[in-house]
């Protein structure tokens, strides 16, 4: 065996040792980790191409408005597109869907969204969402178990202060 082959074999063994479960370079998701990519609606090729064109136009509008592009990390944009825009939308519907400020319904929020709620199609026993209420003109949100798995109470408070300042966050302080 030549020096190169010997060195390669030693490196391979060391790498295998370091990356096995519990090894210094191994990574394991927490037991209750929810992969947001598991919550993307699958589209056929024709729909996927139409969706990508729509998302590209929408993100150009968002950038012109000084907003960051939609990534779909915490929202099922494909599901929203399929249900609300689709392959052959009317002109007004299509233009409205491209509005930079357009806010989608909770229906397509993924379990890692800060305001993931029971109104999402992805809320389940495994991923119980929070609850929105509107009483006497006051909108409130009570986080569910999934919200508190993904974010600390402090992170939720900061999010609501910045993004939902008119919403009462029902979170017990400990």
pLDDT along the chain (174 residues), means of 10: 81 76 64 82 94 90 84 90 79 66 86 95 95 95 94 94 94 64
Co-location of 112 and 100 in the same domain = no
Instruction: Specify whether 90 is located in the same domain as 136.
Output: no
Q: Are residues 98 and 141 in the same domain?
A: no
Q: Do residues 92 and 136 share a domain?
A: no
One domain, residues 123 and 150: yes
Reduced to 3 states, what is the DSSP secondary structure of residue 153?
helix
User: Same domain, yes or no, for 120 and 95?
Assistant: no
Residue at a domain's end among 104, 125, 159: 104
pTM: 0.75
How many domains, in total, are found in the chain?
Answer: 3
Give the pLDDT score at 26. 60
Nearest residue to 145 via CA among 160, 156, 123, 130 = 130
Domain span at residue 58? 35-104
Q: Which two tokens stand for residue 65?
A: 């408005």
For every residue of 126-149, DSSP letters joined together read: SS--BEEEEETTEEEEE--HHHHH
Instruction: For residues 133 and 146, state if they share a domain.
Output: yes
**Angstrom distance (rounded) from CA 149 to CA 140:** 20
Count other Cβ atoms within 10 Å, centred on residue 106. 20
Residues 139 and 152 grouped into a single domain? yes
What per-residue confidence (pLDDT) applies to 98? Answer: 65
């Amino acid at each position: 065996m030549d020096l190169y082959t010997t060195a390669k074999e030693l490196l391979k063994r060391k790498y295998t040792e370091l990356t096995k479960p519990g090894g210094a370079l191994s990574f394991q998701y927490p037991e209750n980790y929810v992969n947001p990519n598991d919550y993307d609606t699958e589209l056929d090729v024709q729909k996927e191409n139409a969706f990508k064109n729509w998302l590209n136009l929408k993100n150009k509008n968002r950038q012109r408005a000084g907003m960051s592009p939609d990534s779909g990390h915490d929202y099922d944009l494909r599901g929203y597109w399929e249900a609300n825009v689709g392959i052959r939308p009317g002109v007004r519907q299509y233009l409205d869907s491209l509005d930079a400020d357009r806010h989608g319904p909770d229906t397509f929020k993924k379990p890692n969204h800060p305001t993931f709620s029971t109104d999402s199609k992805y809320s389940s026993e495994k991923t119980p969402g929070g609850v929105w209420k509107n009483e006497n003109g006051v909108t409130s949100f009570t986080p569910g178990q999934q919200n508190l798995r993904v974010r600390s109470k402090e992170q939720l408070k900061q999010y609501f202060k910045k993004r939902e300042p008119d919403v009462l966050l029902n979170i017990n302080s400990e």
